[in-house]
Amino acid sequence: MITYRPTQIYSRIKANGDHSSCRGMTFAELLVAMAIFVVVMVAVTTFYVNILNYQSTVSGSYQTAQSAQIILKTMLQELREVEPAANGAYPLVLAGSTTITFFCDPDNDGTAEELSYTLIGKTIYQVVIQPSGSPAVYNSANQSTTTIFTNVVNGTSTPVFQYFDTNYNGTSTPLVQPVTTTAVRLVRVNVTLDFDPTHSPAPTTYTIQASFRNLKTNL
């Protein structure tokens, strides 16, 4: 039979208590480490997702800018080459702040088509009407419609279309609506685009201005 002195019993109890305490601290430290790991992983994942979203937005904005420049370059050429209709109608049909209608020959087939650019909501559409018959008639049955711009956010202070007469000197005030079509000699086009309203970058305004070569006097 083994007997222990009181001091030996105390020593064993103390030793056992210290061992249990050490095991409890290790488990607590493990929980803390796991919590820190989870927080770090969430932060890294969030950062990575934000980077991907930013890259996507920037890429989309860049593509939008490139497309806008190409489209506006085409519009510039069309506006410069306005000409009388195949039936002799005046080159400029309508000069509104959100709509312009004119005649030109974008397909170079020797006959002028009727072109319209119109802002409806946040979209700008192009409508082309081919003439038919003799004398020529521009019938809506022969029209085709194309979406040119989306995400257009022009404010009331920035009309899509502005018009100037022969007195234009570079700083002139646009003609006041309603505009008399026969007075127009230069058109300014302003298109403000916002690729993604919920992310940067901010909306960008693209501007061109074209004088009517076939009508110009001092421009």
Query: What is d(CA 176, CA 67) in angstroms, rounded to the nearest whole number?
Result: 31
- Tell me the whole-structure pTM to 2 decimals: 0.71
Q: pLDDT band for position 195 (50/70/90)?
A: confident
Q: pLDDT band for position 218 (50/70/90)?
A: very low
pLDDT in tens, 9-59: 455 555 555 554 445 568 777 788 888 888 888 877 776 666 656 555 545
Query: What is d(CA 143, CA 55) in angstroms, rounded to the nearest whole number?
Result: 39
Token pair belonging to 162 = 């502005």
Residue 128 above 50 pLDDT?
Answer: yes
Largest CA-CA distance found in the chain, in angstroms, rounded: 131
Token pair belonging to 157 = 């202070």
Instruction: Look at 19-23, 61-65, 76-80, 163-167 and tell me which has the smallest mean pLDDT.
Output: 19-23
What is the model's pLDDT at position 73? 93
Q: What is the mean pLDDT of the chain?
A: 84
What is the model's pLDDT at position 219? 45
